[in-house]
């Protein structure tokens, strides 16, 4: 298989592990060598990108997606030990199977969130898949016996861990970097949509059960004789 030497912007950004706008900004600042085609499109040399990756790894800034995921999971485990008495009520309802499903869902959502952030306007399919995972999350909470309020608390607990990790690991230009702000806002958009999907899933289960109960009640109702 022949490896391409000259990569388009999207391919180059994925190889380096940064957002396209970040790589574009670096190129405009002369930090990353590139050429332009006759149509004006950027092309990046794979060897030059490999050098950029090497420099990032040496400075501790390489592989941001992996660093972010590791930081998020470590923070979630750390915050589990700091649960308040109120939060312990919903956490205590989760058995080992529920917690395993939570961990699996959380890891899937992290991956989908990273794709959603990096793809910009083309990330809708990852948001749609994230909503499906969130709906499963709502069903897990219902089966575990959590109330709808406790389900929201559990979701916000996970969401906060992610937002703290984004704030700690995103961007290369400090907290005022525009890319960092964009990542933070995209993360909020992602999890806001997922929270709605989670609550909708939980509410639909309740509605379905209520409707079945009402139908059963009507079926069991005794027909009273009419007095004439």
- Say whether both 122 and 208 belong to one domain: yes
* Number of structural domains in the chain: 2
Predicted pLDDT of residue 198: 95
Q: CB within 8 A of 74, min separation 6: which ones?
A: none
CA end-to-end span of the chain? 91
Question: Tens digits of per-residue pLDDT, 172-224?
Answer: 444 455 667 777 888 899 999 999 999 999 999 876 765 555 455 455 544 44
pLDDT in the model for residue 212: 57
pLDDT of residue 109: 87
Whichever domain contains 93, its CATH number is 1.10.490
- pTM, two decimal places: 0.59
| Span of 45-59, 99-113, 210-224 with lowest mean pLDDT | 210-224
57 belongs to a structural domain: no
- Kindly state whether residues 145 and 186 are assigned to the same domain: yes
The tens digit of pLDDT for each residue in 3-14 reads: 678 889 888 887
Q: 40 is in which domain, residue-wise?
A: 6-47
- DSSP letter for each residue of 122-153: G-HHHHHHHHHHHHHHHHHHHHHT--HHHHHH
| 41, 87: one domain | no
Distance CA 72, CA 176 (A): 21
Same domain for 77 and 158?
yes
**Could you tell me if residue 128 is inside a domain?**
yes
Summary mean pLDDT of the chain: 77
Regarding whether 90 and 179 lie in a shared domain, the answer is yes
Residue 222 lies in a domain: no
Is 18 in the same domain as 103?
Answer: no
Q: Is residue 179 part of a domain?
A: yes
Is residue 227 a part of any domain in this protein?
Answer: no
Give the rounded percent of residues in the chain with a pLDDT score beyond 70: 67
Q: Is residue 56 part of a domain?
A: no
More confident residue, 101 or 178: 101
């Amino acid at each position: 298989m022949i490896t391409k030497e000259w990569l388009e912007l999207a391919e180059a950004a994925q190889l380096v592990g940064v957002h396209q706008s970040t790589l574009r900004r670096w190129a405009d600042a002369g930090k990353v060598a590139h050429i332009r085609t006759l149509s004006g499109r950027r092309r990046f040399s794979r060897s030059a990108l490999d050098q950029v990756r090497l420099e990032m790894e040496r400075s501790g800034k390489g592989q941001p997606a992996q660093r972010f995921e590791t930081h998020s999971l470590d923070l979630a485990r750390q915050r589990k030990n700091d649960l308040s008495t109120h939060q312990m009520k919903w956490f205590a309802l989760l058995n080992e199977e529920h917690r395993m499903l939570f961990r699996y869902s959380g890891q899937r959502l992290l991956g989908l969130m990273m794709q959603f952030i990096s793809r910009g306007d083309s990330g809708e399919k990852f948001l749609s898949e994230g909503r499906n995972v969130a709906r499963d999350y709502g069903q897990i909470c219902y089966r575990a016996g959590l109330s709808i309020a406790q389900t929201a608390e559990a979701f916000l607990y996970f969401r906060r861990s992610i937002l703290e990790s984004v704030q700690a690991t995103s961007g290369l230009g400090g907290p005022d970097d525009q890319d960092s702000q964009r990542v933070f806002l995209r993360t909020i958009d992602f999890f806001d949509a997922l929270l709605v999907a989670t609550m909708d899933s939980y509410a639909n289960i309740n509605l379905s059960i209520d409707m079945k109960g009402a139908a059963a009640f009507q079926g069991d109702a005794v027909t009273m004789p009419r007095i004439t």
